[in-house]
């Protein structure tokens, strides 16, 4: 029989995974896999486990269960260890931004259906300095929200907790003076927020890069320029509707690689990758193609 391993974050979302382990085992065995499980005990544990315990060829399928941060741990472990095993996702986190882009349902039953009835396809992965990402790399306002948020607030309010914390950050945001070299071009501007998308959305805003694809070999750069505080609500309404990319306050380009330098480094600007703390400036960002194979809905347009 083939071998599969389930790597899961027991604290993700509403902890539903803990009541479904027997059902998951039954479904996976029905597909003629033996199933091993690894329960994450702390942030970073899944990446460490893959690097230390898994090598290419050990398994025929890796299943990762959790939110965007947990998926990020798995991708970093696999890429650093050069493990190219087919991957499946159970999106059981709070926002599940990447899974929404990939059209992977957020129920275990339907996610298992994709393993059974879907198809394996190569997807793009991002690399920023020494950190991989699967959905987004961002910097500026809101970039610290996901790692500064109170766990009790997240547990009680779910996705709304991110918006509550975001409103707090709006009160004292700073502007980044950035120089960006990309695909043999260069531009400079002042931004309050920059997002480099592989997926389509972040923080529950599903249309921030509505034309992005996880299969096209490009990132979608969305930069919100220095803007009057009172114009921010109007712009975010456009973002919710997916109508912001032509706004005069937005820079939007497609790129394959970029170097981003922050010229006013006296400010403590945070970067973020898939909801986890990112590296410091300067940032070197590249698309990595054809190394991650993911189970996706059959014939889906991504």
Write the pLDDT tens digit of every residue in 178-189.
999 999 999 999
Checking if the pLDDT of 155 tops 60, the result is: no
In-domain check, residue 9: yes
Q: Tell me the mean pLDDT in the region 24-47.
A: 98
The predicted pLDDT at position 164 comes to 43
Asked whether residue 244 is assigned to any structural domain, the reply reads: yes
* Confidence band, pLDDT 50/70/90 cuts, at residue 159: low
Residue 302 lies in a domain: no
pLDDT at 156: 52
Tell whether 301 is covered by a domain. Answer: no
Q: At residue 199, what are phi and psi to the nearest 5 degrees?
A: -85, -165
pLDDT for res 148? 54
Structural domain of residue 23, as residue ranges?
A: 2-117
Query: Cβ contacts of residue 85 below 8 Å, gap of 6+?
Result: 56, 58, 59, 60, 61, 62, 78
257: CATH: 2.60.200.40
Domain-located, residue 10? yes
CATH number at residue 86: 3.40.50.10330
Q: Which residue has the higher pLDDT, 227 or 32?
A: 32
Measured CA to CA, the distance from residue 217 to residue 240 in angstroms comes to 26
Rounded mean pLDDT, 155-171: 51
> For the residues of 49-110, what is the DSSP string, one character each?
HHHHH--TTS-SEEEEEE-HHHHHHHHHHHHHHT----EEEEE-SSS-HHHHHHT--SSHHH
pLDDT of residue 174: 82
Average pLDDT, rounded, for the chain = 90
Q: Is 204 inside a domain boundary?
A: yes
Comparing 213 with 149, the larger pLDDT belongs to 213
Total domain count for the chain? 2
Q: What is the pTM of this model?
A: 0.90
The answer on pLDDT for 234 being more than 60 is: yes
């Amino acid at each position: 029989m083939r071998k599969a391993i389930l790597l899961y974050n027991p604290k993700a979302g509403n902890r539903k995974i803990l009541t479904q382990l027997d059902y998951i085992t039954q479904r996976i065995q029905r597909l003629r896999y033996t199933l091993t499980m690894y329960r994450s005990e702390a942030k970073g544990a899944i990446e460490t486990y893959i690097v230390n315990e898994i090598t290419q060829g050990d398994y025929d399928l890796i299943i990762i269960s959790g939110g965007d941060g947990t998926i990020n741990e798995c991708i970093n472990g696999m890429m650093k260890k050069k493990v190219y095993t087919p991957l499946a996702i159970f999106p059981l986190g709070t926002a599940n931004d990447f899974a929404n882009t990939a059209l992977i349902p957020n129920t275990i039953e339907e996610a298992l259906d994709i393993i059974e009835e879907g198809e394996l396809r190569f997807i793009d992965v991002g690399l920023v300095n020494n950190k991989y990402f699967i959905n987004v790399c961002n910097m500026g306002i809101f970039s610290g929200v996901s790692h500064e948020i109170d766990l009790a607030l997240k547990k009680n309010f779910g996705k709304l907790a991110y918006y509550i914390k975001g409103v707090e950050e709006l009160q004292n945001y700073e502007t980044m003076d950035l120089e960006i070299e990309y695909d043999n071009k260069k531009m400079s501007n002042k931004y309050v927020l920059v997002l480099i998308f592989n997926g389509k959305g972040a923080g529950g805003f599903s249309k921030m890069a509505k034309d992005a694809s996880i299969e096209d070999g490009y990132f979608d750069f969305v930069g919100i320029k220095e803007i009057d505080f009172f114009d921010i609500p109007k712009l975010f309404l456009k973002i919710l509707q997916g109508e912001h990319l032509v706004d005069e306050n937005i820079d939007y380009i497609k790129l394959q690689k970029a170097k981003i330098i922050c010229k006013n480094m006296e400010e403590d600007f945070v970067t973020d990758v898939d909801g986890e703390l990112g590296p410091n400036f300067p940032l070197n960002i590249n698309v990595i193609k054809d190394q991650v194979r993911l189970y996706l809905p059959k014939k889906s347009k991504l």
